[in-house]
């Protein structure tokens, strides 16, 4: 079993019975009701100015590319698009898994598009990206889970732009041969998100397995040491701090280098409800704790997502020898 690590004295995460309505703010965030509960002040931000968003939107439309920013209704989309950055989502926009937190469409998977790697590379080139993040829907219908398509995207982006590449992959059903196919592209960062604590997997990641995801991360760390290994967790789904600490300890036990911790926000009423809004000071405390546990880099804050400022994050991780 997974070892126990450090017990925090911080209070147990407590559900507040929040309901999420579909009311949208100017930042496309959900509002929490009833009982007068609304988004806490730290989750309200002004919209960015400038026309970078239009550039990014138009380019993605022209090249017929999907992003997780759009499909997952990421709250950082205005900021990231205005900075002319995005996380490309390949292998179609129909996911084969029904995760309870995620708004990426589920349904009949689409045929692979052979020119998609080149279109991703072209977009990355025109956006001037120096760190390109590529993710995908989960494709359990494909024999390799889409691994070779990932590899082709990495190669195409590197050839066209010379940029560093970060992949955020599914678990490939634990098939390490598929993981190795992705790693044949030698991405600078391999990211696979655990998303939440094992007790919540049934609701949050119905077809996933906590141990299997840990094994994927451990396999990459052991067999592809040239790449940084990264994962991310959403907070506020009902996890306790003890459970969270156990997960961080498990991650260190498989050698995970980089960690992101962010606030879960329900994309719609049909998705898992937010149980708690974690205050910024608690995110700071968790970051410090995780660093003490040995992670080389930790990004922790309400708006942190696995790809948020990913380039700066990876550069810091390299600089600190993660
Ligand atoms: S944080 Fe990541 S997913 Fe969200 S908008 Fe930015 S690049 Fe896209």
Please give the radius of gyration of the chain, using alpha carbons only, rounded to the nearest integer: 19
More confident residue, 10 or 264: 264
Mean pLDDT of 272-292: 97
> Which residue among 67, 87, 191, 303 has the greatest number of ligand 1 atoms within 8 angstroms of its CB, and so is best to mutate?
87
User: Does residue 69 have a pLDDT over 90?
Assistant: yes
The CB of 69 under 6 Å from ligand 1? The reply is yes
Mean pLDDT of 275-289: 97
User: Does residue 96 have a pLDDT over 50?
Assistant: yes
pLDDT given at position 312: 86
> What is d(CA 212, CA 14) in angstroms, rounded to the nearest whole number?
28
pLDDT given at position 52: 82
Mean pLDDT of 239-244: 97
CB 22 within 8 A of CB 270: no
User: Does residue 6 have a pLDDT over 70?
Assistant: no
* Shortest-distance atom of ligand 1 to CA 87: 7
pLDDT given at position 37: 53
pLDDT given at position 24: 32
The CB of 167 under 6 Å from ligand 1? The reply is no
Mean pLDDT of 276-281: 97
* Shortest-distance atom of ligand 1 to CA 86: 7
User: Does residue 22 have a pLDDT over 70?
Assistant: no
> What is d(CA 291, CA 6) in angstroms, rounded to the nearest whole number?
13
> What is d(CA 98, CA 237) in angstroms, rounded to the nearest whole number?
17
Q: Which helix (H) or strand (E) holds 21?
A: strand 19-24
> What is d(CA 155, CA 172) in angstroms, rounded to the nearest whole number?
20
d(CA 76, ligand 1 centre) in Å = 6
User: Does residue 77 have a pLDDT over 90?
Assistant: yes
Q: Which range has the worst mean pLDDT, 47-56, 123-132, 274-283, 302-311?
A: 47-56
Mean pLDDT of 6-15: 32
CB 317 within 8 A of CB 228: yes
User: Does residue 216 have a pLDDT over 60?
Assistant: yes
d(CA 185, ligand 1 centre) in Å = 23
Closest residue CA from atom 2 of ligand 1: 307
> What is d(CA 104, CA 312) in angstroms, rounded to the nearest whole number?
26
> Which residue among 27, 261, 307 has the greatest number of ligand 1 atoms within 8 angstroms of its CB, and so is best to mutate?
307
d(CA 78, ligand 1 centre) in Å = 9
CB 191 within 8 A of CB 230: yes
pLDDT given at position 143: 97
Residue 174 pLDDT class (50, 70, 90 cuts)? very high
User: Does residue 29 have a pLDDT over 70?
Assistant: no
- Residue count (the chain): 322
The CB of 53 under 6 Å from ligand 1? The reply is no
Query: Please, what is the average pLDDT of the chain?
Result: 88
> What is d(CA 291, CA 62) in angstroms, rounded to the nearest whole number?
42
More confident residue, 315 or 86: 86
Backbone angles phi, psi at 133, to 5 degrees: -105, 125
> Residue 268 burial (CB < 10 Å; 0-12/13-18/19+)?
exposed
The CB of 237 under 6 Å from ligand 1? The reply is no
- Identify the bridge partners of residue 259 per DSSP, sorted by sequence position: 231, 298
Judged by DSSP in three states, 237 sits in: coil
The CB of 305 under 6 Å from ligand 1? The reply is yes
Q: What percent of the chain has pLDDT over 70?
A: 88
User: Does residue 26 have a pLDDT over 70?
Assistant: no
* Shortest-distance atom of ligand 1 to CA 133: 7
Closest residue CA from atom 5 of ligand 1: 77
pTM score, whole prediction: 0.88
């Amino acid at each position: 079993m997974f070892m126990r690590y450090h017990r925090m004295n911080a209070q147990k995460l407590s559900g507040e019975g929040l309901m999420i309505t579909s009311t949208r703010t100017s930042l496309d965030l959900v509002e929490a009701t009833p009982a007068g509960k609304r988004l806490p002040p730290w989750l309200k931000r002004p919209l960015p100015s400038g026309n970078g968003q239009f550039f990014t939107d138009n380019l993605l439309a022209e090249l017929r590319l999907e992003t997780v920013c759009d499909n997952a209704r990421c709250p950082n989309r205005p900021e990231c698009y205005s900075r002319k950055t995005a996380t490309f989502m390949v292998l179609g926009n129909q996911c084969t898994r029904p995760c309870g937190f995620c708004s990426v469409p589920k349904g009949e998977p689409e045929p692979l598009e052979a020119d998609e790697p080149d279109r991703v590379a072209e977009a990355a080139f025109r956006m001037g990206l120096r760190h390109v993040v590529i993710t995908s829907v989960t494709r359990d219908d494909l024999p390799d889970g889409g691994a070779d398509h990932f590899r082709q995207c990495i190669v195409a982006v590197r050839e066209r732009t010379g940029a560093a590449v970060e992949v955020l992959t599914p678990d490939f059903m634990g098939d390490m041969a598929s993981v190795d196919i992705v790693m044949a592209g030698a991405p600078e960062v391999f990211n696979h998100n655990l998303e939440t604590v094992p007790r919540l997997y049934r609701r949050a990641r119905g077809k996933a397995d906590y141990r299997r995801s840990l094994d994927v991360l451990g396999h990459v760390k052991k067999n592809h040491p040239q790449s940084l290994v990264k994962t991310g967790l959403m907070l506020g789904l009902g996890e306790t701090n003890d459970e969270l600490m156990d997960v961080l300890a498990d991650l260190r036990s498989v050698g995970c280098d980089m960690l992101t911790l962010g606030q879960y926000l329900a994309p719609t009423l049909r998705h898992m409800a937010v149980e708690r809004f974690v205050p910024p000071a608690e995110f700071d405390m968790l970051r410090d704790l995780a660093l003490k546990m040995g992670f080389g880099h930790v990004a922790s804050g309400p708006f942190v997502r696995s790809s948020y400022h990913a380039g700066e994050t990876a550069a810091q991780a390299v600089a600190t020898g993660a």
